[in-house]
Amino acid sequence: MQAITREPVKAPLVTEPLGFFGSLQAARSNLLGILPQISVTQPMVSGKTGLRWHMVMDPPSIRRMLLEKVDAYPKSVVTKNLLRPAIGESMFVAEGAHWRWQRRAAAPAFSHRNIKNLAPIMTRSAEAAADRIGAGGGKRAVNVHEEMVRATFEVISDVTLSGDSQFDQGAMHKAIDNYIDAAGRVSLFDMLGMPGWVPRPGRVLTGNAVKRMKSFADDAIAKRQAVGPRDVPDLLDLLLAGEDPETQRSMRSAELRDNLLTFIVAGHETTALTLAWALYLCAYDPDVQEAAAAQAREVLGDRPATADDVANLPLIRAIVDEALRLYPPAGLISRTALEADELCGREIKPGDSVMIPIYALHRNQLLWADPDRFDPGRFADGVPVDRYAYLPFGDGPRICIGAGFAVQEAVIILATLLARFRFSEVAGREPKPVMIITLRPEGGVWLMAEPR
């Protein structure tokens, strides 16, 4: 194979100050557009654009924020304003004691045993995706992002609602997309630090989408409460049965709905993005793809992957990890400081916006060698990785509760597809990394898929 002389696609970072309205415009079209170029060469960057802000790329300081002083750095007001209309006070948004009891109540649903029990659904979805991609035979162009969204939405629908035939997957997914596209964009009011009760025009216009999402979830919960749990419990059954071991409190209907919506939205979107970017990277680097395909075929033969195969597919897992490094679904997380502090020798004042730009952290030259290069070897067994230099799922007590679920699903689907198809790039159709709430490939990820 000829040596690759170009880098995989990346977002252009800012080299000149944008000013207030320039920052607002950039944030509304692509949040990565507010990241300064120096964020990949420095441990911390600070400034003022309406509000005082800091971007932190220093692992010890990030550890302080996410682990040591987590209550002093709650999710930012902007984050809550963006998400609360759709997912209420679910554990993704809630703080303090209200977050803790929900997390304790839901934790058993995401135990290793329960995640493994849900793997057959992932296997079926992987096989269905392979059948769709291979339909008609021969080599053809496929938008793998679209296919992965469909595959992971099938999984999350089945694991949350047991494939309820009355659940309208298409309508639910359209409502989610409408909300993210309109309400997920930062507004002028957010930039000015105005309180959440002040209506944001974009979010007002998505009221019907939010109502539809909540109606779908409410109906599903009511039906399940009426008929009782399934013989093999799904995620909704586990949440209904969940109880905080410290307070014996269980979730009421509204809390169940908000958390169910959180899992449906986050549980398919992030994994679909990871898979789409992973397939793009495999097409970009045919040598890595062939090595991964050989490993998958050796382990799987002609069958789809299962949970028992995941441990035997280290290169597939490393590709997933490297895709999460280069294109983290949550490319930026934001906190609001509640008290005075010091990070990297700089003063943090109460009310300051303190961001961890995961995208810049994962490409920071102080932390990674040749950081823009695709190299799954970074995640080979025995290679040390600074825990707070790599945060695709966050960390500390608020680490993503579904991280194990997402990784298992991604490995199962990616291994199944690489064993069956050879993917190559489509000339002139490079994806563009654009972040609204999540880091999506604008225009999709178009690849040529050829049966092996």
Rounded CA separation 239/251 (Å): 8
| Alpha-carbon distance values, 307 to 147, 300, 348 (Å) | 21, 12, 45
pLDDT in tens, 429-446: 999 998 877 899 999 999
Residues 259-269 have a mean pLDDT of: 84
Q: What is the value of pTM for the model shown? A: 0.90
pLDDT in tens, 373-430: 999 999 998 898 999 999 999 999 999 999 999 999 999 999 999 999 999 999 889 9
Residue, of 332 and 17, whose pLDDT is higher: 332
DSSP state of 167: S
Cα three-residue angle 406-424-142, rounded to 5 degrees: 65
400 is in an annotated binding site: yes
What are 212's two structure tokens? 């539809």
| Alpha-carbon distance values, 310 to 181, 222, 315, 347 (Å) | 34, 36, 10, 45
Confidence of residue 280 (pLDDT cuts 50, 70, 90): very high
pLDDT in tens, 35-86: 889 999 999 999 887 678 899 999 999 999 999 999 999 988 777 777 777 7
14 DSSP β-pair partners: 36
Rounded CA separation 312/322 (Å): 18
Rounded CA separation 293/214 (Å): 41
Helix axes 403-420, 253-284, angle to 10 degrees: 40
Cα three-residue angle 15-19-21, rounded to 5 degrees: 120
Cα three-residue angle 178-182-188, rounded to 5 degrees: 170
Write down the domain spans for the chain. Answer: 19-451
Residue 42: CB partners within 8 Å, gap ≥ 6? Answer: 57, 366
Residues 136-142 have a mean pLDDT of: 88
What are 172's two structure tokens? 């639910």
Report the length, in residues, of the chain: 452
Fold (topology level) of 19-451: Cytochrome p450 (1.10.630)
DSSP state of 14: B
- For residue 159, pLDDT over 60 is answered with yes
Contact call for residues 325 and 390 (beta carbons, < 8 A): yes
